[in-house]
Structure 1
Amino acid sequence: MNPDDLKTILDALTHADVREFSLTTGSYALDLKRGPQAFAAPVMGGPAPTYAMPAPMPAYAPPMPAAPSAPAPATPAPSAPAAKPAETPKAEAPKADAKPAEAPKAASKGQPVKAPIVGTYYSASSPDAPAYVKVGDRVKSGQVLCIIEAMKLMNEIEAEMDGTIVEILVKNAEPVEYGQTLFMIE
């Protein structure tokens, strides 16, 4: 059996509601079983290779509301252009604000304390508890600065040096990335 014949059989069975298929010729036997398992490699050493067909994937259908919504904005055309210019400056304003906000953070003195893992930053051990540290606190090496929750595990982040907390760059319950600066210690 050549690969084109096998592809034709697989295509036909993919579109049919067939769970098992067996084909035996003089020199070749083919057993196909369709189920929740993924496509498997042939089993060697047996009388004939066995393949498992993957379950059919649902076909993608584009959302139907797209066609009716196109005529609706065309009717109130005068109000739509007025709304777009109003939104554009608002979208640009945070970008302009974000750049100056990053500049002072980069200019602050001290050593950064970076997140060793991806997770959610917590400033205290519980919502009722006071924060581990705040700006101006003197910390010692090994002192817990915060907790990062990753996959339901609470990981204590400790200071690596003695110093004073100059800046806290993350808000409570905010997601953090690996290597993101959490604190500046001077």
Structure 2
Amino acid sequence: MNPDDLKKILDALSQADVREFSLTTGSFALDLKRGPQAVGMAAPASAPAPAPHAAPSFQPAAASSPAPAPAEAPSAPTPAASTSAAAETPAPAAAPAKPASAGTPVKAPIVGTFYAASSPDAPAYVKVGDTVSAGQVLCIIEAMKLMNEIEAETGGVVREILVKNAEPVEYGQTLFIIE
């Protein structure tokens, strides 16, 4: 369907008292619904795409290809950003390698936000050098507005705290090293 045909349909519908209109030809589908004020188009991405492309008038594949093109344009600057992100990635990767040999890691059981204390004005549950026992609360991870207390699985001395307060954590990320 070319833009002229689409305009003719819209003109005819605006003059008629039609509230809804659907048209399917081949792989092209058009759904129009008129509200109290004007005719609105609720159609797949293929409906608006033919207007900019005069030559391929009714090819949904052509309509799909312009969508990835803009996505590719932002992708070009992104590799530069991911290069800097890649430079940051080895640093955290190096941190877990150190703790594995230094003691027992305490890992995040869920994805969320790490909190060292029960409230912003409360003291931290533990600090480096504190002795903890199995079952003692080490921190809180907030996930979907639920506060989950993370407890020590073994007793020992807190050697490292690898996460800063209010920092996002991922599943399996090492939070503490207990020796």
Task: Specify the TM-score bucket, using the shorter chain as the normaliser.
Answer: 0.5 to 0.7
Q: Distance in 2 between matches of 1:101 and 1:177?
A: 12
Unaligned runs of 5+ in 2: 1-22, 36-41, 53-65, 67-79
Report deviation, 1:8: 1.9
Aligned residues of 2:116 and 2:140 also touching (Cα < 8 A): yes
The yes-or-no answer on 1:128 pairing with 2:121 is yes
Specify the alignment match of 1:103 in structure 2.
Answer: 94
Specify the alignment match of 1:160 in structure 2.
Answer: 153
| TM-score in terms of structure 2 length | 0.54
Unaligned runs of 5+ in 1: 1-5, 20-54, 63-87
The yes-or-no answer on 1:117 pairing with 2:104 is no
Cα RMSD between the aligned structures? 3.6
Bigger CA radius of gyration: 1
2:43 to 53, 56, 61: 56
State the AA in 1 paired with 2:43.
P
Task: Using the aligned pairs only, state the percent identity.
Answer: 63
Q: Distance in 2 between matches of 1:12 and 1:106?
A: 55
Q: Distance in 1 between matches of 2:144 and 2:134?
A: 26
| TM-score in terms of structure 1 length | 0.52
State the AA in 2 paired with 1:125.
S
- Give structure 1 regions of 4+ aligned residues with deviation exceeding 6 angstroms: none
State the AA in 2 paired with 1:180.
Q
The yes-or-no answer on 1:8 pairing with 2:25 is yes
Q: Distance in 2 between matches of 1:182 and 1:155?
A: 14
Specify the alignment match of 2:163 in structure 1.
Answer: 170
State the AA in 1 paired with 2:105.
P
Specify the alignment match of 1:142 in structure 2.
Answer: 135
Change (3 A) 1:18 1:10: farther
Residues paired across the two proteins, number? 118
Report deviation, 1:106: 2.0
TM-superposition CA deviations, 1:33-53 (whole Å, max 9, x none): xxxxxxxxxxxxxxxxxxxxx
